[in-house]
Amino acid sequence: MERSFQPWLYSCLLITVLGILPEPKNVRMNSVNLKNILQWEPPDFYKGNVTYTAQYKSYRSFEDKCKNINLTSCDFSDISKYGNYILRVKAESEDDQSDWVNITFCPLEDTIIGPPGIQVESLAGSLHLHFSYPNIENEPNMWTLRDYYYSWTYNVQYWKNGTNDKLEKNTPYDSEVLTNLDPWTVYCLQVQGFITDKKRSGEWSQPVCAQTTENGSHPYWTYVTVIIVSTIVVLMLVLGCFCMLWYFYRKVKCIFFPGYSFPQHLKEYLEQPSYGISFLLPVPSSESESFDKLSVIEESENTGHDATGPCDYSAEVLQQSLLPGEKNT
């Protein structure tokens, strides 16, 4: 108690008696994801107007970063991320200035690695995780910490909601699948970045919870149902295509090849003919068969005056018409 009271009393005497401006207090670097902000607190017991100047030194000399500012912070984010720096700040008034307060700073070693982004998707009884690197402000092309830390990996913790039994998994990839989970169960998880070659761990992300679904295996009857339904659909499609093709075929045939209607009376005649088939067949002839030739002669007016008479004339004509072979018989 006495030791902490003595510096306070000494500063008070310097200001009141000698008028010396005290230096800034609690100078520190607040760096998260290479967003580098030098912060401090104003000197105690000084009521005048105070400004501040902050500088940095990398190789040779100090350079002003913030000069004669009223704020108690200065942004050093645009300095190179590689190398070691000496940072310093002092308080200034109209007639006096304080001593410099120095600190050392190495951006890649001292910055705090923030939590990565995470997205969770529940599929087929497993949880699919998608990670994203922390972004760096004021960097071209949206650089991330992965562009500076080449041995970046992710540490994942997951557990059943309501329990404290945590399981861990690490991966160097931007995605990961958590398997062998209980179906229809809520799991919570969080992730952090880890730099392997520097053995540095980042901050954990906020827990994200998601519920699993079925484990992805389907009962036997679902496969049978799918096969039957698919078969019915295929048969209906084939039948529909066949009917459509037949319809178009009939239409085209009717347009380009119109049908001929056979007369009804001919159909009836052919179905019930009035004559037998034997009537239509030709009668064979024989060369040895003989026949008589009958001639019909009309009687004229002069025939009545003939002395021989009609009967004798007809007999003579018939006799002459007989074949030579038949006369002897």
Domains and CATH numbers, the chain: 25-110 (2.60.40.10), 117-212 (2.60.40.10)
pLDDT digits (tens, 9 = 90+) for 71-90: 999 999 999 999 899 999 99
Please tell me the distance from the alpha carbon of residue 208 to that of residue 190, in angstroms, as a whole number: 6
Kindly state the tokens that stand for 31: 């760096």
Residue 304 has pLDDT above 60, yes or no: no
Please tell me the distance from the alpha carbon of residue 209 to that of residue 8, in angstroms, as a whole number: 50
If you ran DSSP here, which 8-state letter would residue 282 be given?
P
The conformational region for residue 34 under phi > 0 = left, psi -120 to 50 = alpha, else beta, is: left
* The pLDDT value given to residue 8: 43
* The pLDDT value given to residue 282: 58
Residue 302 has pLDDT above 70, yes or no: no
| C-alpha dihedral (272, 274, 277, 282), degrees to nearest 10 | -140
* The pLDDT value given to residue 242: 86
DSSP 92-121: E-SS-B---EEEEE-HHHHSB-PPPEEEEE
Task: Compute the average pLDDT of residues 302-316.
Answer: 47
* The pLDDT value given to residue 16: 46
Task: Give the confidence band of 125 by pLDDT, cuts at 50, 70, 90.
Answer: confident
Q: Which residue has the higher pLDDT, 53 or 319?
A: 53
* The pLDDT value given to residue 321: 47
* The pLDDT value given to residue 315: 47
Please tell me the distance from the alpha carbon of residue 24 to that of residue 5, in angstroms, as a whole number: 18
Share of residues in the chain with pLDDT > 90 (%): 50
Kindly state the tokens that stand for 201: 């761990």
Task: Give the confidence band of 297 by pLDDT, cuts at 50, 70, 90.
Answer: low
Task: Compute the average pLDDT of residues 243-251.
Answer: 83
Please tell me the distance from the alpha carbon of residue 81 to that of residue 12, in angstroms, as a whole number: 40
Dihedrals φ, ψ of 53, to 5°? Answer: -130, 130
Task: Compute the average pLDDT of residues 24-49.
Answer: 91
Residue 273 has pLDDT above 90, yes or no: no
Residue 128 has pLDDT above 80, yes or no: yes
Residue 325 has pLDDT above 90, yes or no: no
From 16-25, 108-117, 222-231, the region with the lowest mean pLDDT: 16-25
pLDDT digits (tens, 9 = 90+) for 170-220: 999 999 999 999 999 999 999 999 999 999 999 999 999 999 987 655 556
Task: Compute the average pLDDT of residues 19-23.
Answer: 82
Task: Give the confidence band of 278 by pLDDT, cuts at 50, 70, 90.
Answer: low
- Rg of the chain in Å (alpha carbons): 61
Task: Compute the average pLDDT of residues 83-110.
Answer: 94
DSSP 145-156: GGGT-TTEEEEE
Predicted model pTM = 0.59
The conformational region for residue 328 under phi > 0 = left, psi -120 to 50 = alpha, else beta, is: alpha
Mean pLDDT, rounded, of the chain: 80
* The pLDDT value given to residue 137: 78
Task: Compute the average pLDDT of residues 287-303.
Answer: 58
* The pLDDT value given to residue 223: 74
Q: Which residue has the higher pLDDT, 52 or 299?
A: 52
* The pLDDT value given to residue 129: 96
Please tell me the distance from the alpha carbon of residue 228 to that of residue 261, in angstroms, as a whole number: 47
